[in-house]
Amino acid sequence: GQQLNQSPQSMFIQEGEDVSMNCTSSSIFNTWLWYKQDPGEGPVLLIALYKAGELTSNGRLTAQFGITRKDSFLNISASIPSDVGIYFCAGRAGGTSYGKLTFGQGTILTVHP
């Protein structure tokens, strides 16, 4: 089946620093999604990408759909303490009309004040 490799697995940064994380797939995806999960809660959608090469921003977050359609990147600028959480990428392969997603393993982000 499809596999997603998300890296890094964890990050420890100082408040104000920029953050980058990425996901790579063994197969082509036609949709990439980035979610954030806070402790004790479900994942919340941050950014959705639908076209190869697409670059989309949501406040301090920017995500890109890789040209090869096998990868995606998420950047967080000027991190703040509330950015702490687990970030997941998720992808959807072509031909799936019911929205079935494959998730990465997650990146645990810790921000030191």
| Three-state DSSP state, 94 | coil
Of 12, 42, 82, 113, the one binding another protein by CB under 8 A: 42
Binders in 46-85 for another protein, by CB under 8 A: 48, 50
CB of 40 to another protein, least distance (A): 7
What whole-number distance in Å separates Cα of residue 105 and Cα of residue 107? Answer: 7
Distance, CA of 12 to chain centre: 17
Contact status: 12 vs another protein (CB under 8 A): no
Residue 47 amino acid letter = I
Contact status: 21 vs another protein (CB under 8 A): no
Cβ-based neighbours of 35, under 8 Å, separated by 6 or more:
43, 44, 45, 46, 87, 88, 89, 90
Binding segment toward another protein, per CB under 8 A, in 14-22, 61-69, 72-80, 86-94 = 86-94
Contacts with another protein, residue ranges (CB under 8 A)? 1, 4, 6, 9, 30-31, 33, 35, 40-45, 48, 50, 88, 90, 92, 96-101, 103-106
